[in-house]
Amino acid sequence: MRVQFVVQEIWIGLRRNLTMTVSLVITVAIAMALFGTGLLIRQQVNSSKTYWYDKVEVSIFLCAKTSSNPSCQKADATQQQKDQLKAELERLPQVANVEYESKQQAYARFKDRFASTPGFVESAKEGDIPDSYRIRLKNPEQYKAVSQAVLGRPGVDQVINEQEILKKFFNILNGLQWAALFIALVQVIASVLLVGNTVRLSAFNRRRETGIMRLVGASNTYIQMPFILEGAIAGLIGGMFSSVLLVFSKLMLIDRLAGNVDFASKLGWGTVVWVIIVSICFGVLLCAVASFLTLRRYLRI
């Protein structure tokens, strides 16, 4: 196969259908950027789950004068109740560690955690957060066994599982991920339709050249290759533009999100590079396959 002829035919096809090609490149770029963003969010969620789920705790808040639980009778938990509860917790096979946190310690931790929002800190005072036991579990999934063992015991106000709070947050991130992938799917369908229209238009414009090539005995591959490569090149250019958009997604979306929610595990550039490579390859393959299938239906060679 003469490479020079194939390259010349590709250039002619791209130049004749410039508007369609530009539209295809933009659509592929947006589709691959959304697809890659969905993958980036997924990686961030998975890495964060791995980190946080190993560190989540069960907080057992003790009765206080401000408790709304009727069983507390508007009174603080006694030292005897605290000691009995601690002994019971340490006997549970699911518990790895038990740590007592006083009102003063809880308030100090609260001020440290929300130091960046002074207005929120000023709205609370020492004593608003009751005494508690912070439980580290051997297996975070065994929360219910601990909860059932302590709920209703004297001196216990309420039991809060941090994993349930994290699950709600990660569900929001998963929804964002699936929304990005759904929009990407719509854009992929639009890309396939644009590829089909571009290839059909290119084949129609070059029907005379194609007919001559048939008459002189050119192989199917020789005739098809310029059209397939046109789609692949458009997909490659769109994929390269999508890589720029993915870098912006990492800097403007993922990193800001990680900073705002204080993720301990931030997404590395190695993951971004991997997602960019996958997105570019997927864009090229998508356009090439769409071109090939369109040729089989409309070129009839």
Residues 6+ apart with CB under 8 A from 235: 28, 283, 284, 285, 286, 287, 288
pLDDT at position 301 is 46
Question: Does the structure show a pLDDT above 70 at 60?
Answer: yes
Distance CA 213, CA 271 (A): 46
Question: Does the structure show a pLDDT above 80 at 78?
Answer: yes
Distance CA 128, CA 122 (A): 12
Distance CA 178, CA 297 (A): 33
Residues 6+ apart with CB under 8 A from 182: none
- The DSSP 8-state label assigned to residue 97 in this structure reads E
Mind listing the pLDDT tens digit for each residue in 183-199?
778 877 877 777 777 77
- Grade residue 1 by pLDDT with cuts at 50, 70 and 90: very low
In this structure, of 4-13, 81-90, 282-291, the range with the lowest mean pLDDT score is 4-13
Could you tell me which residue, 95 or 12, shows the higher pLDDT?
A: 95
Could you tell me which residue, 241 or 146, shows the higher pLDDT?
A: 241
Mind listing the pLDDT tens digit for each residue in 119-165?
666 777 777 788 888 888 777 777 778 888 888 888 888 887 776 66
* Average pLDDT, integer, range 28-47: 81
Beta bridge partners of 61: 132, 158
- Grade residue 103 by pLDDT with cuts at 50, 70 and 90: confident
Query: Would the pTM of this model clear 0.85, i.e. be above it?
Result: no
The structure tokens listed for 91 are 């006997």
3-state secondary structure of 162: helix
In this structure, of 5-9, 12-16, 105-109, the range with the lowest mean pLDDT score is 5-9
Give residue for tokens 């196969």. Answer: 1
pLDDT at position 46 is 72
Could you tell me which residue, 209 or 181, shows the higher pLDDT?
A: 181
- Grade residue 16 by pLDDT with cuts at 50, 70 and 90: low
Could you tell me which residue, 196 or 223, shows the higher pLDDT?
A: 196
Question: Does the structure show a pLDDT above 80 at 180?
Answer: no
Pairing of strands 156-161, 132-137: unpaired
